């Protein structure tokens, strides 16, 4: 266990952290390639990445909890290739994403959602090989 994990658990008792990627977990068979490249980019910058953390009373599992040891803070991160306005996504997908967003707002943990445009900007300006 890493020393920051105790303070994260105290601050967010509803958050159940798995083992951090790259430090303990190195089995990446069932991860989307975009998610893996994104996680690798964050890890290279010294951040701790927890894949699919469980949040009690949430109906879905976020993609990551990312902890920044330099800022002593973290956020849930949801990655989606859907456009922010939902254009091009089927009704079923839009409704599912709306439910996920409501869960994130209500969970009490800071979060960010990276849509297609944000991922394209990360690729363009920060990490050329993202996707």
pLDDT in tens, 78-126: 988 777 776 666 788 778 878 888 999 999 999 998 888 887 777 777 7
Measured distance between the N- and C-terminal CA atoms of the chain, rounded to whole angstroms: 32
CA angle 26, 11, 103 (to 5 degrees): 75
Asked if residue 131 belongs to a domain, the reply is: no
Asked if residue 127 belongs to a domain, the reply is: no
Mean pLDDT of 12-41: 84
Asked if residue 129 belongs to a domain, the reply is: no
- The reported pLDDT for the residue numbered 92 is 84
Which residues in 43-79 are b (16+ Cβ under 10 Å) and which e? beeebbbbbebebeebeeebbbbbbeeeeeebebbbb
Which residues are paired to 51 by β-bridges? 64
Asked if residue 42 belongs to a domain, the reply is: yes
Q: Residue 50: which pLDDT band, with cuts at 50, 70 and 90?
A: very high
- The reported pLDDT for the residue numbered 87 is 65
- The reported pLDDT for the residue numbered 129 is 57
Q: What count of Cα atoms within 13 Å lies in the side-chain half-sphere of residue 10?
A: 6
Q: Which residue has the higher pLDDT, 95 or 11?
A: 11
pLDDT (tens digit, 9 = 90+) per residue, 96-106? 878 888 999 99
- Domain span at residue 57 reads 3-121
Structurally, how many domains does the chain consist of? 1
Which region holds residue 57: left if phi is over 0, alpha if psi is between -120 and 50, else beta? left
Asked if residue 16 belongs to a domain, the reply is: yes
> Which residue in the block uniquely carries the two structure tokens 């994990």?
5
Structure tokens at 26: 């190195």
Do the beta carbons of residue 56 and residue 14 sit within 8 Å? yes
Res 22 pLDDT > 90: no
Asked if residue 9 belongs to a domain, the reply is: yes
- The reported pLDDT for the residue numbered 127 is 62
- The reported pLDDT for the residue numbered 128 is 61
Asked if residue 63 belongs to a domain, the reply is: yes
Rounded Cα gap, residues 33 and 13, in angstroms: 30
């Amino acid at each position: 266990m890493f020393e920051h994990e105790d303070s994260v658990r105290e601050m967010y008792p509803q958050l159940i952290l798995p083992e951090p990627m790259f430090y303990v977990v190195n089995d990446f068979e069932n991860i989307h390639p975009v998610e893996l490249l994104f996680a690798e980019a964050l890890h290279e910058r010294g951040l701790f990445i927890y894949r699919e953390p469980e949040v009690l009373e949430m109906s879905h599992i976020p993609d990551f909890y990312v902890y920044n040891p330099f800022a002593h803070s973290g956020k849930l991160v949801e990655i989606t290739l859907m456009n922010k306005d939902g254009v091009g996504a089927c009704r079923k997908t839009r409704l599912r994403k709306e439910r996920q967003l409501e869960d994130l707002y209500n969970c009490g943990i800071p979060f960010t959602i990276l849509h297609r445009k944000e991922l394209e900007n990360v690729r363009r300006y920060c990490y050329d090989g993202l996707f």
